Chains A and B, each alone.
Chain A
């Protein structure tokens, strides 16, 4: 996820959280057991009303207080806020945080992360969905999952507003990426500012396997993307404000994150927004728990991670409104007992067939590629020639 939002409120919230942390540390060292967890917004059950049922259960069960903060609204800005502490190996203020796979890959490469102790993670050993294990699947940035464990999987593919799409094109739903480039949709298309999702989907539509693409493949996809941006066919390249545009009609179709659409439909109580897993392939990424080297409460963090690998707990949070793919086996079956409709949703619980045929993970880039591809992507997104 590359949700980019700068708000003064969140700045103040950050400052407030910092001072509270300082006060706690000053007056009660070791008196209460606390674990600090930074995560993305809209990623926890009960977040809207502050009830946090699964977190409260964890606290009751273990006696460890969780200081849960939605401080991560963008991989890059979050990284920038802790990079000096990471480099020095000191406490960043969080014992664990969840970042997207490619960023975790960079952190591993920079030797910023602590190795996970699997002795403390029996639930992970028992329940981690094999698709997420690493090497050759959705975890090639961390072979064997030595440093990171998935929190949620994120599917990106083509989203559209059912009524507006039909009104403009006369068709019910887009079937291919090519459909988005129909002239009637000019200025009504928005794509994600996350390079790996947008270019990944374009590359796959070009017939390229994104698990092993070359620079030429990347350049071809980027050239197509650039032509659509320059001509104004793509109206916006956005992080997280894009959903509003589908609701108010500025955007009619584009590349989106499935979880956002499910949440928007659920909130609005309708099914206005539709979602298509392209036959050519959709991207699948993960946000992952990591523990920085300087973490003060590594063991508590591991207890917390272990807790979120209990299928009962994860099922509760999925039903509670976290509409992203859980990496824990057995969740679907538990959800099916109380909410069969949700359990049948392919975007939340992809079938083995979907994993095998439709979902692909953007391969990890070499240092040199990471540099030049990121730069090229940012230049096109910002209209730099």
Chain B
């Protein structure tokens, strides 16, 4: 779009050329940044994903090539982990939405009359970011350990059998994902609900619409931009997350996600082409899903 803006074929006058140069100069730092830190790594990633093993057979040695076998290798081998990643991402996004919506509604609409309280609550939503993501995840690992007070309680009330462990289960990983990404859902929802005009709601009930109908016909559509950006901001990073599912954090050998396999192939197996192919596959699937989602929800204007 930026290119189209100053590269238009309209007849150029002296003034336009000048402003075009200014625009170009202003854009330059951003463009250089994009080329250095996005285009070049992306091209290098794709090229690596096409490399073939070297004849020496040594671990970590590959030669440039056009070997699409890496793609079929990762997809056929890791499809359960790919499916799990997107399953987890879908589930965690839905749970985060269900928790965040009432919370954001409360902060954005219900306490609107008390700005001090409202600001305090927004701060509380952001507060976890002041502590490292990894430290918080490790803290949960300790809090949900087999003999922690929380788990003792869960065993007592029969939520879980005493022989079961929560840490290492798929539920623990989804829990960690929801916990870690919930602010990314709450904040966009809050910003769109905060601007919700209450007079619409009043008009709705004046016209004898039930609260549920008012919500469905007015609140929900008006908060749609928040829902879309919130779901995108949680779904995309969750699909690629490799911390929560890691065996050293909340996961186990049975919770590996795409990120786990990229980590394993890149660092342990030194299979750089497979790790790159896996990353390209992850990006590709996300791109397709997001495009479909944005088209479907009719909010292209947002992006």
Which A residues contact B (CB, under 8 angstroms)?
Answer: 4-9, 74, 76-77, 80, 83, 106, 109-110, 186-187, 193, 229, 232, 234-241, 244-245, 248-250, 367-368, 370-371, 374-375, 378, 380-385
**Is B132 a contact of A4 with CB atoms below 8 Å?**
no
Looking at chain B, what size class is its interface with the partner chain? 35 or more
- Chain A residues with CB under 8 A of B60: 83
* B264/A378 in contact, CB under 8 A: yes
Q: Are B147 and A385 in contact (CB under 8 A)?
A: no
Chain B positions near chain A (C-beta within 8 angstroms): 56-60, 77-78, 80-81, 132-135, 138, 141-142, 145-148, 163-165, 167-168, 243, 247-249, 252-256, 260-261, 264-271
Is B77 a contact partner of A367 (Cβ separation < 8 A)?
no
Q: Are B56 and A384 in contact (CB under 8 A)?
A: no
Known contacts A6-B134, A8-B134, A244-B142; A238/B269 CB under 8 A: no
- Cα-based distance from A248 to B252 in the complex (angstroms): 17
B248 touches A378 (CB 8 A): no
Given contacts A187-B163, A235-B165, contact A7 B145 (CB under 8 A): no
* Cross-chain contact A248 with B147 (CB below 8 angstroms): yes
A residues less than 8 Å from B256 (CB atoms): 382-384
Query: Are A77 and B267 neighbours in the complex by a CB distance under 8 Å?
Result: yes
B248, A239: Cβ atoms closer than 8 Å:
yes
Contact between A250 and B252 (Cβ–Cβ < 8 Å)? no
A8-B133, A378-B269 are known contacts. Are A371 and B81 too (CB-CB below 8 A)? no
A218 to B196, CA, bound (A): 65
Residue of A nearest to B138 (CB): A241
Determine the chain A residues whose CB is within 8 A of the CB of B269 once the complex forms: 371, 374-375, 378
Determine chain B's interface SS by DSSP, over half rule: loop
Give 14 A-B contacts (CB < 8 Å), ordered by A residue: A7-B135, A106-B59, A235-B252, A237-B247, A237-B253, A367-B59, A374-B270, A375-B269, A381-B264, A382-B261, A383-B255, A384-B78, A384-B80, A385-B80
Provide the bound-state CA to CA distance between A109 and B145, in Å. Answer: 43
Task: Determine whether the beta carbon of B267 is less than 8 Å from that of A6.
Answer: no
B268 near A374 with CB under 8 A, answer yes
Most chain A Cβ neighbours within 10 Å, of B59, B78, B80: B59
Contacts of A240 in B (CB 8 A): 248
Q: Is A193 touching B78 in the complex (CB atoms < 8 A)?
A: no
Which residues of A have CB within 8 Å of B253? Answer: 229, 234, 236-237, 380-383
Contacts of A244 in B (CB 8 A): 141-142
* Separation of A370 and B58 alpha carbons in the complex (Å): 8
**B268 and A371 contacting across the interface, CB-CB below 8 Å:** no
Q: A235-B165, A248-B145 are in contact. Are A241 and B267 (CB under 8 A)?
A: no
Closest chain-B Cβ to A287's Cβ sits at a distance in Å of 18
